[in-house]
Structure 1
Amino acid sequence: MEYIKDPMAIETRSMEIIAPHLAKFNLDEQEVKVYSRIIHAAGDPDYANIIKIHPEAIAAGLNAFKQGCNIFCDVEMVRTGINKRRLAEFGGQAYCLVADETVAQEAKAAGITRSMAAMRKFGEQLTGAIVAIGNAPTALFEVLHMIKEERIKPALIIGVPVGFVGAAESKDLLHATSPVPYITVLGNKGGSPIAAASVNAIMYMLGR
């Protein structure tokens, strides 16, 4: 059986297959890149119908990368999927505290999720940074609470938690109320690969 073996050829062909699914959405070139990488990561063209990108999101992300921003993740799977070598070229690092023992203890004491406790631990560090949430709705709810009550102001929120308990609701709240630019996908879909793909899509636009 003949099949494509070259990694770049595989990616190029994938984007060619995805392109017709985006034709009806009137996207600009940068939005196409984000949509395409999300769909590629999910293997699901239906994502085109549920992706929501704030009008300032891509510009905010690009500017943050240029400023050497850090990325704060809710779970290790998101951090793993981010191109950390490229991120380091801009002076940034990706962080996740979900496995930190102190965070685990604080979460247990407060009766909350580790990802939620991790966001509290990051605190002021979130200001000017990119927050990438792919798994835990509680982390997204917490970040939105911190923005409202503690005046934390990330440069960009990529909020795509997956699941059936709180995921859709947290993303609806992000989409409806966030004063911070965001990228999200509505409903139950999402996940760590989608969060990482969104981060990488913007970072690759800078083309270093």
Structure 2
Amino acid sequence: MENIEFVLPSEIEKRSFQIIESELNYRGISIPEEQKPITMRVIHTSADFEYAETMKYSEDAVETAKKLIISGADIVTDTNMAKAGINAKALEKFGGKVHCFMADKDVAEEAKERSITRATVSMERASKLGKSVIFALGNAPTALISLYDMMKKNEYTPAFVIGVPVGFVNVVAAKELFLNSNVPYIINQGRKGGSNIAAAICNALLYELGGRS
């Protein structure tokens, strides 16, 4: 027990971020100030410092995402896990909602009928919401590919993409599509990511706007 650090429950998160910042300094890793709260929350969620070097932001990405949230943009996820992890009450304060169409019965039926993935149908549904959408994708590279395909066909352009799907098949290539696009993004290069990472990025943006609840 001598190596156990006593920390008040209310101070655990604060202490965690102090440790993260200290370790980043020890590793000689410098993160731009506007990106630091987002990247640090991802590290806090994953305990993985590799994100400090693989997280990529388009120019003015953080400011762009914040403006979208303030203007009432919705967030669309590719898993109910990510949806559950996003602070919906904080988003609602700005007039936005969190959506996930992946488990909808009619989405599954349409995907089967058309022999395509539920992720593709879900992205099509999201494109018809009639308002600005931040896509927070942590599971399905197919969702990223579908968005990119719609964009290339001039059918739809996403307002912002958080692209952090995890896995091995098409994951890296799907992320690279948006790294070379004109769409504002926060992308994690490589195979790592996940629904928890997508939610962490959304929450970091919300908390920076004082939307924590």
Q: Report the TM range for the smaller structure's normalisation.
A: over 0.9
Give deviations 1:51-87, integer Å, cap 9, x for gaps.
1111221111100111011101111111111001101
In structure 2, the CA distance between the partners of 1:21 and 1:170, relative to structure 1 (3 Å rule), is farther
* Structure 2 residue corresponding to 1:107, chosen from 105, 111, 118: 111
* Structure 2 residue corresponding to 1:163, chosen from 160, 167, 170: 167
Confirm whether residue 33 of structure 1 aligns to residue 48 of structure 2: no
Q: SS where residue 97 of structure 1 aligns?
A: coil
The match for 1:20 is 22
* Structure 1 residue corresponding to 2:12, chosen from 4, 10, 13: 10
What is the rounded CA distance, in whole Å, between the counterparts of 1:198 and 1:126 in structure 2? 24
* Structure 1 residue corresponding to 2:151, chosen from 144, 147, 160: 147
Confirm whether residue 205 of structure 1 aligns to residue 195 of structure 2: no
In structure 2, the CA distance between the partners of 1:7 and 1:124, relative to structure 1 (3 Å rule), is farther
Q: By percentage of residues, which structure has more helix?
A: 1
Deviation of 1:163 after TM superposition, in Å, equals 0.3
Alignment-mate amino acid for residue 44 of structure 1 = D
The match for 2:56 is 52
Across the aligned residues of Structure 1 and Structure 2, the Cα RMSD in angstroms comes to 1.7
Q: SS where residue 158 of structure 1 aligns?
A: strand
Give deviations 1:101-132, integer Å, cap 9, x for gaps.
11001111222221221111222337521011
The match for 1:70 is 74
The match for 1:91 is 95
Q: SS where residue 128 of structure 2 aligns?
A: helix
Deviation of 1:136 after TM superposition, in Å, equals 0.2
* Aligned 8 A contact 1:4 1:10 in 2: no
TM-score, normalised by the number of residues in structure 2: 0.90
In structure 2, the CA distance between the partners of 1:86 and 1:6, relative to structure 1 (3 Å rule), is farther
| Larger mean Cα displacement after TM superposition, 133-142 or 19-28 | 19-28
Deviation of 1:5 after TM superposition, in Å, equals 5.4
The match for 1:43 is 47
| Larger mean Cα displacement after TM superposition, 14-23 or 151-160 | 14-23
TM-score, normalised by the number of residues in structure 1: 0.92
User: Quick one: percent identity of the two aligned structures?
Assistant: 40
Runs of 4+ in 1 over 3 A off after TM superposition: 1-8, 20-26
Deviation of 1:21 after TM superposition, in Å, equals 4.3
What is the rounded CA distance, in whole Å, between the counterparts of 2:23 and 2:184 in structure 1? 25
The match for 1:195 is 198
Task: Say which one has the larger Rg.
Answer: 2
